[in-house]
Amino acid sequence: MPEKIVVISPNWLGDAVMALPALRAIRQHWPAATLIVAARPSVAPLFPMVPGVDEVVSLGAAGGWRSAGAWAADARALAGARAEVAILLPNSFRSALIARQAGIPERWGFATDLRGRLLTTRVPRPRGRMHQSEYYGALVAGLAEGAWPLFAKSATLLDPPVVARQQAEALLARAGVAPDAPLVGMAPGAAYGRAKQWPPERFARLAELLHERHGATAVLVGARADRAAGELIEREMASGKGRAPSGLLNLIGHTDLPTLVALMSRCRAFVSNDSGAMHLAAAVGVAVTAIFGSTDEQGTAPLAGASATVAPHEILTCEVWCRPCMLRECPIDHRCMTGIDPVRVSEAVWRQLALRSGPDTGADTATPIDPGIEP
């Protein structure tokens, strides 16, 4: 029974969130161990919000093939954790090498990327189409019999700290948002490329519909790189009115990760492209309407955890011959996204709002993907 386990996190925010069920399974299988997560600075602030994580080690800022000095610095950071076991969620050679250089005696992971000799326990990489969370779960299942699947459907995967909740409330108060105002979060950005993005003018029309019909305020969230999309939405809603748009609050680039998660927990529903923000909202327990175009919803749909106890996620697609293409930029007319109408999205959000606030409306809802998590 190891006393200290360090889990090396994926580098992308969405992947890190999809790894949380596997992290919870590790926590439950080794309840007495100190559980440490090693992560890049872009995702490291996620893990203090994860119940059951005891420590977080921050690695260097960049991945891939970097200088020997940077690799050595990562190894020193891992060595400081003094763990007996390293569980490698990334498939990279680098993660296995720095774990060995750190002197961690047990190194467990998938035998990929020519790193088999660096691992002390090698798990065969699973084949076939599966959700990314199931992929990480397959590693846990290969390491410990009975540790996966995880039976904790109602569990919340993220719990923002009190100070982050206070900061989120302060942001809303400064914008004049009442404490009981119905909020619908919207994430119009996507780090992988524009092919994943529903057009900003569609988000603008959706915000108008939700405000006009349901009195909801749309709260735009995202990273600084998403600011252009937020500004386009603001301009579209203000066009011809000569004033700031009603029913819209643009907070893109104005939150750190804990405050963003706290802000999401304040929302009654969430609309997003396939992005890290989509996964964050699902992990904090908000019902998500996820708009998928170029990417495959079977692999990266939002996790159905605590949100399934409130209202199910809805996955919206436009079934055209070319999707999922997995491209960063659409080489034709972006029909997979332009074929999704704002009215259709508003109806999906309304179903979620109705289920959260009152009895079932009887409307059909999409079945959420619930990988490895049972009631």
- Please report the pLDDT score of residue 369 as a whole number: 35
pLDDT above 60 for 367: no
> Letter for the amino acid at 261?
V
The domain made up of 4-143 has a fold known as Rossmann fold (3.40.50)
Q: Do domains 4-143 and 162-357 have the same CATH topology?
A: yes
Q: Quick one: pLDDT at residue 240?
A: 55
pLDDT at 368: 35
Question: What phi, psi does 157 have (nearest 5°)?
Answer: -85, -25
Query: Is the pLDDT reported for residue 374 higher than 60?
Result: no
Which residue has 């990988």 as its token pair? 371
pLDDT tens, 317-333? 999 999 999 999 999 99
Q: Write down the domain spans for the chain.
A: 4-143, 162-357
217: which DSSP letter? E
The β-bridge relationship of strands 55-58 and 121-123 is unpaired
pLDDT for 341: 96
Distance CA 336, CA 322 (A): 8
Options 3.40.50.2000, 2.40.50.140, 3.30.420.40, 2.60.40.10; CATH for 162-357 is: 3.40.50.2000
Give the bridge partners for 6, in sequence order.
36, 86
Our CA angle for 47, 4, 61, nearest 5°, is 40
Q: Are 270 and 185 in contact (CB under 8 A)?
A: yes
When comparing pLDDT for 359 and 95, which is higher? 95
- Which residue(s) pair with 107 in the sheet? 86
- 59-73 pLDDT, tens digit each: 987 655 556 678 899
Q: Give me the pLDDT at residue 155, please.
A: 62
Rounded to whole angstroms, the Cα distance separating 4 from 11 reads: 22
